[in-house]
Amino acid sequence: MSTNVILVCLLVGTVNYLFRYLPLRMGARQKSGPKSGPLSRVLDSIGIASICALLVVSSTPEILRDHQKLLPSLAGFVLLALIFWRTKSIIIATLTGALAYGLVFKVMLMAAG
| Per-residue pLDDT tens digits for 15-58 | 777 766 776 666 655 555 556 667 666 666 676 677 777 777 77
pLDDT of residue 12: 76
Instruction: Please tell me which residue, 109 or 113, carries the higher pLDDT value.
Output: 109
Percentage of residues of the chain with pLDDT beyond 70? 73
Compute how many other C-beta atoms are within 10 angstroms of the C-beta atom of residue 55.
Answer: 20
pLDDT of residue 59: 79
Inter-residue contact 86 to 61 (CB < 8 Å): no
| Per-residue pLDDT tens digits for 4-13 | 778 877 887 7
- Model confidence at 63, pLDDT cuts 50, 70, 90, reads confident
pLDDT of residue 11: 81
Element housing 107 (H / E): helix 90-112
Task: Locate all alpha helices (DSSP H) within 28-89, ordered by sequence.
Answer: 38-65, 70-87
Inter-residue contact 24 to 37 (CB < 8 Å): no
- Model confidence at 99, pLDDT cuts 50, 70, 90, reads very high
pLDDT of residue 100: 92
The pTM for the full model equals 0.57
